[in-house]
Amino acid sequence: MGDGTVMNLDNLLKQNKDAIVKKWLSSAIDTYPADTSIFMKRQKDPFANPVGNTLSVNLGPLFDELLNEMDYETITSHLDPILRVRAVQPILSSSQSIGFIFLLKKAIRGSLKKELLDKDISKELLYFESKIDELTLIAFDIYLKCREKVYDIKANEERNRTFRAFERAGLLTEIPADGPSL
């Protein structure tokens, strides 16, 4: 480059951020069934499309954090809303719910095909991809906590439904103040 900028992966990722994040977002949306995916890509209203909006709002900042120091609090603040939504969607398996992060590797490789022919840039990408793997492990922990919460809610609802049925049947006269317990 004629401006004196050393071409390294970091600079390439910063220069191509918009295109990479756009590909990542599109790939993440494509993890949904086709009709849902089409809707999410077309519907720009955040209230009509909260899932697509959540992805759209948080993927760019996650990419920025991969370029920066990978602050855990910042990462979790952007992963949590995405994974919270994905954890309650029965149409996605656990691997699909978290697997969208790996799609960033494909987006980067697709955007920087020519540049990755350079041996040094290619080596730098291996390190960067290890940061994506680290991001995936953080996502796994967040996703598991979300799923545990979903199961707790379902168990409490079922327990409360059972006790109300017992109460209606006259088998239980009063539910204790701290709620029913099994």
Q: What is the pLDDT along the chain (182 residues), one digit of tens a residue?
A: 445 556 899 999 999 999 999 999 999 999 888 888 888 888 888 878 888 889 999 999 999 999 998 999 999 999 999 998 888 877 788 888 899 999 999 999 999 999 999 999 999 999 999 999 999 999 999 999 987 887 666 677 777 777 677 677 777 665 556 665 55
Q: pTM here?
A: 0.77
For position 176, what pLDDT does the model report?
A: 59
For position 154, what pLDDT does the model report?
A: 67
Distance, in Å, from the CA atom of 7 to the CA atom of 26, rounded to the nearest integer, reads 27
For position 34, what pLDDT does the model report?
A: 87
Question: What is the DSSP code string of the chain?
Answer: -TT-----HHHHHHHTHHHHHHHHHHHHHTTS-HHHHHHHHH---TTT-HHHHHHHHHHHHHHHHHHTT--HHHHHHHHHHHHHHHHT-TTS-HHHHHHTTTHHHHHHHHHSTTGGGSHHHHHHHHHHHHHHHHHHHHHHHHHHHHHHHHHHHHHHHHHHHHHHHHHHTTS-S---TT----
User: Which sign, positive or negative, has the C-alpha torsion 53, 55, 57, 60?
Assistant: negative
User: Considering all CA atoms of the chain, what is the largest pairwise distance in Å, rounded to the nearest integer?
Assistant: 85
